[in-house]
């Protein structure tokens, strides 16, 4: 059994359901400290965070990730206990196998091998780890990034170990993510008897033209890295349940997944302009879940792409699809942020798994990325 596989199994065995870390980061500290890392545990609320750094010079390349996992779902539907790592037919099963305890193990062993082979290496290596990525993400990576910014610590490159591969291991890396912004919209009308519509005001009818316009609006254009910004309604509700009552209000929940071609403020202003144009009586509450970020082609994407090609023979593709990640926080203090990890087909699912044959190549890719950044 390789050291990377053994470490992955150790991490899976720890039931670190968000926001619990349950000893994962202490396991990392025990491994990193003898390598020369200065490790700092940063607690915030009920969240555990780790900042570890070896070296004091630039460039600083950081491995980032999370030790928390999503809940298992019904245990009876798992073929084997989700916190007892089990290998069947060449696959390692367990919660966090792909998202993202295999990445953390691979990063740790990659750093260890690199330092052992190049003890006098230039630059610095860091680890930024949280137990709050799968949760609200208010006490995790964002807290560490704010602290590092206050200290004036400059991050140059960051590799986030999110499971990005799609059809084949190594086929996709994320060089950015769309932002996420949600709105809770209440359209006010006047409740009344459905037989006397002249005495009421139906908010569904009144808002229909505005809803149509919102769904058909072109918010921005696609570009080299992003799909067009998307407006999507997720929930809509009105009525008392009775068939003879015109509702007094209509509730609509919607979300924007937006690119760097738009800003949260510009989208909000355009939504309000459309609603106002249709003379609606409404309340609208906004929540920004994350800002978009983008790392154009450059030093880090080239270093990682070459490492992937060397290990897998695959010419990887840059992508900005998918949900939000902690990369959005790191990008505020680091100019180049890239995400790369295992195949993501089973993440958050029953019987989450990773191919055992891909664990060592994952470690090798991370190590070769260190070599491509710090030794060239």
Q: Binding site: what residues are annotated?
A: 66, 99, 134, 162, 348
Query: What does the radius of gyration of the chain's CA atoms come to, in whole angstroms?
Result: 24
Which residues, in sequence order, are bridge partners of residue 88? 91
Residue 335: φ, ψ to 5°: -75, -25
* Residue 63 falls in which region: left (phi positive, over 0), alpha (psi -120 to 50) or beta: beta
CA distance 253 to 239: 16
DSSP-derived secondary structure letter, 8: H
**Helix-strand-coil split of the chain, %, nearest 5:** 35, 30, 40
Element (H, E) at 232: strand 230-238
CA distance 143 to 137: 9
Residue 80: φ, ψ to 5°: -135, 160
* Helix ranges (DSSP H) in 278-358: 299-312, 327-330
CA distance 141 to 162: 14
Q: What is the number of residues in the chain?
A: 376
Catalytic member of 9, 68, 132, 339:
68
**What are the structure tokens assigned to 274, written together?**
């459309």
- Enumerate residues 6+ apart whose C-beta is below 8 A from 29: 39, 41, 50, 52
Catalytic member of 9, 132, 133, 326:
133
Residue closest to 333 by CA, chosen among 170, 142, 171, 203: 142
* Residue 257 falls in which region: left (phi positive, over 0), alpha (psi -120 to 50) or beta: beta
Q: Binding site for Zn(2+): what residues are annotated?
A: 66, 99, 134, 162, 348
How, if at all, do strands 317-319 and 282-290 pair? unpaired
- Enumerate residues 6+ apart whose C-beta is below 8 A from 376: none
User: Is 339 a residue of the active site?
Assistant: no
User: Is 68 a residue of the active site?
Assistant: yes
- Residues assigned a catalytic role: 68, 133
């Amino acid at each position: 059994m390789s050291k990377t596989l053994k470490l992955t199994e150790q991490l899976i065995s720890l039931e670190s359901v968000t926001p619990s870390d349950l000893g994962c980061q202490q396991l990392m500290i025990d491994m990193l400290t003898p390598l020369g890392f200065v490790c700092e545990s940063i607690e915030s609320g009920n969240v555990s965070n780790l900042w570890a750094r070896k070296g004091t010079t630039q460039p600083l390349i950081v491995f980032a990730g999370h030790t928390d996992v999503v809940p298992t779902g019904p245990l009876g539907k798992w073929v084997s206990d989700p916190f007892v790592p089990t290998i069947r037919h060449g696959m390692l099963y367990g919660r966090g196998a792909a998202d993202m305890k295999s990445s953390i193990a691979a990063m740790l062993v990659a750093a260890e091998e690199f330092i052992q082979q190049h003890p006098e290496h230039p630059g610095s290596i860091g680890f930024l780890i949280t137990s709050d990525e799968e949760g609200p993400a208010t006490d995790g990576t964002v807290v560490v990034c704010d602290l590092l910014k206050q200290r004036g610590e400059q991050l140059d490159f960051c590799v986030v170990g999110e499971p990005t591969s799609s059809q084949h291991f190594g086929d996709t890396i994320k060089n950015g993510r769309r932002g996420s912004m949600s709105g809770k919209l209440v359209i006010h009308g006047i409740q009344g008897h459905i037989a006397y519509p002249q005495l009421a005001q139906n908010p569904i009818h009144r808002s229909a033209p505005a809803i149509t316009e919102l769904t058909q609006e072109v918010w921005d254009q696609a570009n080299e890295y992003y799909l067009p910004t998307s407006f999507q309604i997720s929930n809509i509700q009105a009525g008392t349940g009775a068939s003879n009552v015109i509702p007094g209000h209509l509730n609509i929940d919607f979300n924007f997944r937006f690119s760097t071609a738009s800003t949260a403020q510009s989208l909000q202003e355009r939504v309000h302009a459309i609603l106002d144009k249709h003379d609606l009586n409404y309340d609208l509450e906004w929540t920004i879940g994350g800002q978009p970020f983008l790392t154009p082609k450059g030093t880090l994407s080239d270093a990682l792409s070459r490492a992937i090609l060397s290990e897998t023979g695959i010419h990887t593709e840059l992508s900005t699809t998918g949900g939000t990640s902690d990369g959005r926080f790191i990008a505020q203090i680091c100019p180049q942020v890239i995400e790369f990890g295992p195949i993501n087909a089973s993440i958050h699912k029953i019987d989450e798994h990773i191919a055992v044959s891909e664990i060592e190549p994952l470690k090798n890719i991370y190590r070769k990325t260190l070599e491509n950044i710090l030794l060239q």
